[in-house]
Chains A and B, each alone.
Chain A
Amino acid sequence: MKFFLLKFILIGICIFVVAETFILFIDSKQNGFFTLSVHHNIASVNEDKSIEILLNANENYLGSTAIPISSIGKGNVSFKIKEKNANSWYQQNTYNIEAFNLLPLYPFGFPVVTNSKNKQYIIRIDPVNSAQVHLRGSEVQAKHVYPKTEITSSLNSFAEFIIKKYYYLSHGGQIFFYSFLCAFLILKPRLLFPFIRKIGKRLLSALVFLPILLFIILPVFLLTHNILYAKNIVEWIWIVFAVLILQASFKSIKNFLANKNDKDIKKHILICFFGLSLVAVVIAALNKTYMFGGDDSRTFYLYPIEFFINHTSHVGPDGAVSSLINFLPPTSIAAFSILIIILKSIFFIFNLQMILFIFNIIGGIVFFYVLIDYLLPGKHLTSFLAKVLGSLLYVFSIFNFYTLFNSQLIAMYLISMFPLSMYLYVKGIKEGKFYLIALVAVIWSIFSFLVVSLPWFLAGFIAFLPILFWFFWKQKKRFLLYNCLLLLLLLLLNTYWIYTVSFSFISASSISDNSAIVSDSFRMQHAEGIIATTEINKVFFPLVNLYHYDIQANFKWPYFPIFTSWYLNLLPLNALFILLVLLTGIKMGKSPLKGIYVASVFGLLISIYFFTVNIGSNGIKLFLFLNDYIPGFVMFRNMFDKFGFAIAISMALSISVCLQYFLSNEKKHWVKIGIVSVFFFLILLNAKPFLLNEFYSVPVWTTKNTYNTITGFNQDYLNLVQYIKEHDNPSRYLWLPINNGNISQIQDEKKPNHYYSGVSPLLFLSGKNDYSGVTSFDRYSKEIATDIYKRKYSQLGELYRRFNVRYIIVNHTITPDIRQSYICGEKICDAQDERYKKAFLGKKIKDFGSRYTLYEINSKYINDKIYLQDGKGKITYKKITSDEYTINLSHINQNARIIFLDPYFTNWELSTLKNDPLKGSEHTKIFNYANAWKINTDELKATLPKSEYKQNSDGTIDISLKLRFQKSILYPIAIIISIITYIGILGYALTILILRIFKSKK
């Protein structure tokens, strides 16, 4: 006990100073350094419909107050403040109550009251209209904003201010008490623990009586109209109940653990997991809400057959959504599309999108567990728990919420399919089981890992590479051989669409010049964007397992309020993840886990670099170097999106390894339970906004009250689609208003402020194409927008004519909220006013409810998909399929030119009905995108048999032609190769599986 007291005092003071300084920093960060934050218990409150608080000001320069106020519903309140006994209010302000629930203490500002010291102030908050507010605590904060000059005028005033600041932040001595308690704990931990345990046990036993006591006291406060205290008592009753429930749960878990062996516990956990999963699947199946929209419309979950027929089976022409040229051939997702058709026929009336969404989550957890269990074998309960926590962290990672779950593209299935395919891949190579590698090829092909999901998949694969390096270091030859075979299988499985690339948009020279993702111009164009995006990234956030802050703040991402109100509060707790990684590095000696620890943390570091880029002085330069010299690397230009999944998987792998190390090396049972509980709750806290559906409840970006979850398309739209589908003319439809991008807004049937918001699904549903926004016109988008703003209608009409706009759909459901948002950026929707309508709307065709009206375009600009230019003659045509037309020409002369308003491809061929080529006719590009043929009638007369045409008396001819999109004879062979490979692999894997089951039964 020598010097005990001295040590106790010194350590206590040290802790007190450090803690106070820390609080001072936090307070200064929030309120500014020259602000004194003084906590007051509310002296008196008159809470009827309005709230009235009496506040005693301890200091001068009273500048604002922060009040624990809560709100219900929407509306405003008026905030007033005056000195007690003053006749008029000193300041009045109106506040929107929606933000009240976001902060524990909501700040109300007013002009600084210079001489406020020792004066009493009355604060009154009156709800306006139907707004409802109430106090949820008994402590308000008064903020005294000192002028900088007064504090810094002399050293004395500065010191005095600092002392005051320390004094007010000590919360009436609470910090002082806790500091010395900590000091005692540090010096005599063994003395204190038994003491706390003993006292704790007695307190917990006594706690049972506390709610009864509180119930007895409660009426006293109610009768004396002390509502605030009564409210506090009710809160305490709940808290005590919660503690009692927790105590009972803890006791039962403890007894359960004491009486069961590891196997039983695992079994119970699995039963719970699968029970919950089943409930989730049932709820999802019965859910009526769809999350449609975005870049692929996601309508295939409801209309899979239409999607396949009108889009994914299309080769070449007319397959681009809303007429925007796509980077990738639509056929590349044909296999996925067929899978969805099969699943839809199984789950027919149920919500397939939601079912697959839940399956994806469950699959992610299960398959990640299977993968990590293979990489990190271990049969103990601790190992099981470490892997379960890793799996939960993987699926419920903020990086997945912000990227894959947010976009809901096909890439979302990486969450379940990536760990599954990696498990099959690793096991297949390690154990020399080729059929597993073949299954990997099937998974990667169906879920389009090599095309649509490629950037996310490749990012995840890069993060996984160190693990593969570590795992196959001794089997390099087999690794290379199996990978070569895998590539061959992938090639065979995907031949059907790889072959189509040669005659699809991606290779059409006129289009790919500017847009091909691997082109030089595309790469250079995005270098500037990369610099602008990465400059603001900070490695601090991904290190503490959080998404980048600045990109959300600068671009006003819709999730930003969730991030600031929830995730930023978790920041110090989330630091525990990286702390665990560091502590494992410190403690790990010659553990057998060292190899996988190094591999997984390397993967994590690689993903963090690519996710952030702005690390060190050359981080951005390195990324730009890779962008310059690695073909296709430009696909990672939005690295904050593409490498999110990589962080999720590598962080989960690292944490699983670290937890396994700690749990298997820790001998104390309660420490193990503590570690598991802390990380479990931490993962739950991170998952809270996702589990409570907060991410999908935010309004569409830059709108105030428009949401993009729908129960289905409105009936008027479906009627319109049906009408268009049955309409003969294949010309295009223009939406009015057209928006700033390439997206369509389709109102929900039941909820008027819920819209489908994504690429126009008209093509998928009707087979007819449309123009929904200015970017639908590709390189003419700027010209179109300028013409709309400057009202150059004749010029614009000419452009519409060139782009085969024959019909206009007036959408009456575009609300002012949408008009002011990014969708109608720069007020382009408002620019399409009555004058625009007068200039372009022609004959009215039909009304579809009150939502849509279909018009023909003004007769001045009327056009057709196929028409004659120059010369004499008449033309009629019929669309057979999207790649075949028949054309009848009558009385055409030497100068006739046939114009065909579909994207130019050399594959378009004009021939006679008997397939004889038209000699002397020249196929050229017109309007910078479409097709034109000059017909040489003299040459036709000379080369064609007379039965193919009719000569008229005036020298002109009548002839019937066929316009076809020529696909090579090899195309059907390519499809057959893919189908045979699919059947072969699945049959092979199934046979082996049946044989194995048969063997195990024997």
Chain B
Amino acid sequence: MKKIPYYIFLLLSLYAIIFVDILFIGKMVDALTVVILFLIFLLSREVKKLDKIFFISALVFLLFALLLYYMPITNKLFDVAANWVYAFLFAGVLKMFVEVLKNETSQ
């Protein structure tokens, strides 16, 4: 059996934390968010496949937020998911900004 790369475990753990936060805690703690996004950023620099992970994650959480919005749940979990969409989109744009800046300075 082919060895599963370490980053998949790390990513799964990070996303598990996010899902737990959305479904059970319902409070996006900023410090934790920064740590998670930074770890994902480091991974995305190391693993080429994860280049667009922030935007893809934002998209997945957006769909999840929409699903939660239509679910018969009284507490507003969909907004916590939307908070994560915002965070991932912000991180994705920030990463892209760094790339643009790098390109500009190298030219």
Contacts and interface: CB of A to CB of B under 8 A. Distances in A.
B69 A540 contact: yes
Contacts of A575: 62, 66
A11 interface: no
A598 B66 contact: no
Nearest to A622: B30
Given A25-B70, A582-B55, A583-B59, A540 B92 contact: no
Interface string A571-607: 1100100110111011010000011011001100100
Contacts of B54: 585
Given A32-B72, A571-B69, A539 B79 contact: yes
A743 interface: no
Interface magnitude class on chain B: 35 or more
Contacts of B78: 540
B71 A616 contact: no
B82 A540 contact: yes
Interface string A8-34: 000000000000001001101100110
A468 interface: no
Contact of B86 (A583, A585, A608): A608
Interface string B58-83: 11001001110111100010110111
B11 interface: no
B69 to A, nearest CB: 7
A670 interface: no
B100 interface: yes
Interface string B35-57: 00000000000000000101110
A175 to B, nearest CB: 16
A543 B86 contact: yes
A602 B65 CA distance: 22
Nearest to A473: B104
A543 B30 contact: no
Contacts of A616: 28-30, 33, 83, 87
Contacts of A881: none
Contacts of A601: 89, 93
A538 interface: yes
A602 B90 CA distance: 8
Contacts of A608: 86
B49 to A, nearest CB: 13
A594 B85 contact: no
A464 to B, nearest CB: 16
Contact of B55 (A29, A473, A586): A586
Contacts of B86: 539, 543, 605, 608-609, 615
B96 interface: yes
B65 A540 contact: yes
B97 A602 contact: yes
Interface string A538-562: 1110011000000000000000000
A812 to B, nearest CB: 49
A572 B78 CA distance: 13
B72 A29 contact: yes
Determine which residue in A32, A578, A598 has the highest number of CB atoms from chain B within 10 A of its CB, and name it.
Answer: A598
A617 B99 CA distance: 29
B70 A585 contact: no
B72 A28 contact: yes
Contacts of B27: 617
B64 to A, nearest CB: 11
A618 interface: yes
A608 B72 CA distance: 27
Given A538-B79, A598-B96, A616-B83, A579 B55 contact: no
B61 to A, nearest CB: 10
Contacts of B99: 594
B69 A602 contact: no
Nearest to A470: B100
B71 A29 contact: yes
Interface of A: 22, 25-26, 28-29, 32-33, 473, 538-540, 543-544, 571-572, 575, 578-579, 581-583, 585-586, 588, 594-595, 597-598, 601-602, 605, 608-609, 615-618
- What 10 A-B pairs have minimum CB-CB distances, sorted nearest first? A540-B82, A28-B72, A585-B55, A538-B79, A29-B72, A582-B59, A25-B71, A586-B55, A616-B30, A618-B30
Given A616-B28, A617-B30, 18 more contacts: A22-B70, A29-B71, A32-B72, A538-B79, A539-B82, A540-B69, A543-B85, A578-B85, A585-B92, A586-B52, A586-B59, A605-B86, A605-B93, A608-B86, A616-B30, A617-B27, A617-B28, A617-B29
27 contacts: A26-B70, A28-B72, A29-B71, A29-B72, A32-B72, A473-B104, A540-B65, A543-B62, A543-B86, A571-B66, A571-B69, A579-B59, A583-B59, A585-B58, A586-B59, A588-B96, A594-B96, A595-B104, A598-B100, A602-B97, A605-B90, A615-B86, A616-B28, A616-B29, A616-B30, A617-B27, A617-B29
